[in-house]
Amino acid sequence: MQKRKARAIAIEQSEIEKRVRQWILGSALLVAGGFLAGAAFADSHKGVTVTHGFNEYDELKYPADFAHLDYVNPDAPQGGEFSMSWSGTFDSLNPYATLTGTPAVLSNVMYESLMTSTADEIGSLYCLLCETIEFPEDKSWLIFNLRKDVTFSDGTPMTSADVIHTHELFREQGTPSYRAGIVDLIPEYEAIDDYTVKFTFNPDSPVRGRIDQMAGAIVMQKKWFEETGARLDESRMENAPGTGEYMFGPVDPGRQITYVRNPNYWGNDLPINVGRGNYDSIRIEYFADRSAAFEAFKAGEFTFRAENSSLNWATGYDFPALDKEFVVRDTLPRGTLPGATGFVFNMLDDKQLDRRVRQALGLMYNFTWTNENLQYGLFQQRVSFWDNERLAATGLPEGRELELLETVRDMLPEEIFTEPPLMPHESGSQPLDRGNLRRALALMEEAGYTPDDQGMLRNADGELLSIEFLETRQAFDRILQPYVENVKRLGVDITYNRVDPAQYQAREQAKDFDMYFSGYTVGLLEGRGLSQKFGCEDREDVFNRAGYCNPAVDVLAEAVAAAETYDEMAAAISAVDRILRYDYFVVPVWTLRESWVAYYDMYEYPENLPEFSTGEMDFWWINQDKADALRAAGAFQ
């Protein structure tokens, strides 16, 4: 039986919408990188490495002749449908026009990258659309030797011309931050022949990150763009053919989209695809209301749910389908980093520039009471931007981290060197912690705000501190409104404004907010993309949620990109983490170090799940006998 692979999805969050959003926004930008090993070899005359894979810091786990990944079931049956829900709507099938429309979730599923990652290694990349890569010792250039059997979904072959054309599309029409970065990184590129592509790197760019940047490049069909005149940055309800195993199926704009397997997928038998991509179709049902989505799951309108509501998880799983054992409720381990989520301040807004104001507003959040009374004690309080012992700053800076901080000492406050990294404040068991209220009032007074006769805080000019908290999810009302009430008790004129998803997205992209619940996607391996999230030049970029800027972080981001060992990179990230926490532009809230899932009892997965993926859309499969039994019992609508 042929084995296939569904495009790997980097699972960085417990919420499925966050992990898929990361895939949509990041698939054409960055893939975590690696260093050579396995079957790599060097031409002694030319000093050129030729290899099937790459890992920047470590040896590859899988040699060139591996049969399949260790965590898959190579005998997994093929067939059936994976179905899940999504909140909101969509008006585009172009996943790369994120600023001009709302693309359908997974709408980049038909595009494959030149190389792909695995879920049981940090930073390893293996050839997918290529057979091998070549590069010299100084990594001044990179050659992809393409596979000669790759075809698009319309049956036409993929060649170097498609690779070059896609690269030029992103150089000219990608997001501003990506365009600027890629143009500077790669001044020269060429198709040597129909199946060989060469990229030459800027000699002044950091050596680390060069190869993994291009390894993550996707390939789209040149012919389609030339015939249609379509642009990469325009919203549209069609898209270029891809090389991936899934294609667009039935589409009901704004309500439902189905992706179907390409029966002639070129990569069925690749070792890296064995045991993966086991569904005939993937269906996404859209719901404007999360409660309605949950009711639809209970009724069997879709069959897989990644639960993100502690209320639902603690109290909602008592419906008939569960009692009849149609549905499995499962908790899965998760080794990936949780997102750096919280109440994000708009650092482009003058009202937010005083750190003491931000700290005072943060003190009004009571994690202890919120978790115990509203979240059933299921969460942990987030500490670090990289909430993991590998990367989080701890204690006083020492060793290589201290050395790196010393290089920017004149840009930093002395507390960075003399005090442990800022930790989340502690709160009591009552909704309003009066000790924190007193601390917050003192901070506001230091920042120039004093209460008037009605207890409202005003600055020296008599102006109120007015804050809008922007949100779109009704399910978050019960969590966020107690915080808003505490801020009101502080004397701040705060408004909780819940808007529709389209308006929310537009205002988020335009940085038209004071505060909102969001966060940053972080990983165990960071590189050039760090500047896109936290750099001054990218303050208005969609990935820099807060519009944050600190010149010291810009300098240290270069050290991250230039690190030659994982320990060097980790030390630089710890230094950055220490500064970000001090600057306090995100109020850290809750985090979850496991995944909650529920699914109709026809899905199965390997016993040896990898550390960095739960894999429901990658290497799970459907037991058709179980599916037929559920259908006969009336489990599905």
Average pLDDT of 457-479? Answer: 94
Question: Is residue 465 assigned to a domain?
Answer: yes
Are 17 and 90 a contacting pair, CB within 8 Å?
A: no
* Main-chain dihedrals φ then ψ at residue 283, nearest 5 degrees: -115, 135
Instruction: State how far the Cα of 42 lies from the Cα of 44, in Å rounded to an integer.
Output: 6
The mean pLDDT of the chain is 90
Question: Is residue 84 assigned to a domain?
Answer: no
pLDDT tens digits, 140-198: 999 999 999 999 999 999 999 999 999 999 999 987 778 888 888 999 999 999 999 99
Q: Are residues 431 and 468 located together in one domain of the fold?
A: yes
Q: Are residues 461 and 516 located together in one domain of the fold?
A: yes
Q: What pLDDT is stored for residue 449 in this prediction?
A: 96
268: DSSP letter:
T
Are 254 and 91 a contacting pair, CB within 8 Å?
A: yes
pLDDT tens digits, 482-520: 999 999 999 999 999 999 988 998 899 899 999 999 999
Question: Is residue 400 assigned to a domain?
Answer: yes
CATH assignment of the domain containing 606: 3.40.190.10
Q: What pLDDT is stored for residue 314 in this prediction?
A: 95
Q: Are residues 543 and 573 located together in one domain of the fold?
A: yes
Instruction: State how far the Cα of 356 lies from the Cα of 584, in Å rounded to an integer.
Output: 9
Helix (H) or strand (E) holding 603: strand 603-604
Q: Are residues 483 and 346 located together in one domain of the fold?
A: yes
Q: What's the chain's length in residues?
A: 637
Per-residue DSSP letters for 128-150? SSEEEEEEETT--EEEEEE-SS-
Tokens at residue 323, please? 């009692």
Q: Are residues 346 and 330 located together in one domain of the fold?
A: no
Average pLDDT of 375-379? Answer: 94
The lowest-confidence range among 23-27, 79-83, 591-595 is 23-27
Of the residues 195, 228, 261, the one at which a domain ends: 228
Q: Are residues 27 and 40 located together in one domain of the fold?
A: yes
Q: What pLDDT is stored for residue 337 in this prediction?
A: 86
CATH assignment of the domain containing 574: 3.10.105.10
- Who has greater pLDDT, 421 or 37? 421
Residues 6+ apart with CB under 8 A from 511: 346, 348, 540, 547
User: What's at 532, amino acid-wise?
Assistant: Q
Is the predicted pLDDT of residue 17 greater than 90, yes or no? no
Average pLDDT of 246-256? Answer: 95
pLDDT tens digits, 387-420: 988 999 999 999 999 999 999 999 999 999 999 9
Is the predicted pLDDT of residue 36 greater than 60, yes or no? no
In this prediction, residue 46 has a pLDDT band, given cuts at 50, 70 and 90, of low
Helices (H), 563-633: 566-583, 624-632
Using a 10 angstrom Cβ sphere, with 0-12 exposed, 13-18 middle and 19 or more buried, the burial of residue 280 is middle
Backbone Cα Rg of the chain: 25
Question: Is residue 7 assigned to a domain?
Answer: no
Question: Is residue 488 assigned to a domain?
Answer: yes
Residues 6+ apart with CB under 8 A from 158: 129, 146, 150, 151, 152, 219, 221, 243
Are 362 and 584 a contacting pair, CB within 8 Å?
A: yes
In this prediction, residue 16 has a pLDDT band, given cuts at 50, 70 and 90, of very low
Average pLDDT of 59-82? Answer: 97
Average pLDDT of 519-527? Answer: 91
Q: Are residues 136 and 219 located together in one domain of the fold?
A: yes
Overall number of domains in the chain? 3
Helix (H) or strand (E) holding 25: helix 16-26
Judging by DSSP bridges, how do beta strands 281-287 and 81-87 pair with one another?
parallel
Boundaries of domain holding 327: 246-336+593-632
Q: What pLDDT is stored for residue 460 in this prediction?
A: 93
Q: Are residues 269 and 388 located together in one domain of the fold?
A: no
Q: Are residues 218 and 257 located together in one domain of the fold?
A: no
pLDDT tens digits, 576-633: 999 999 999 999 999 998 999 999 999 999 999 999 999 999 999 999 999 999 999 9
Question: Is residue 236 assigned to a domain?
Answer: no
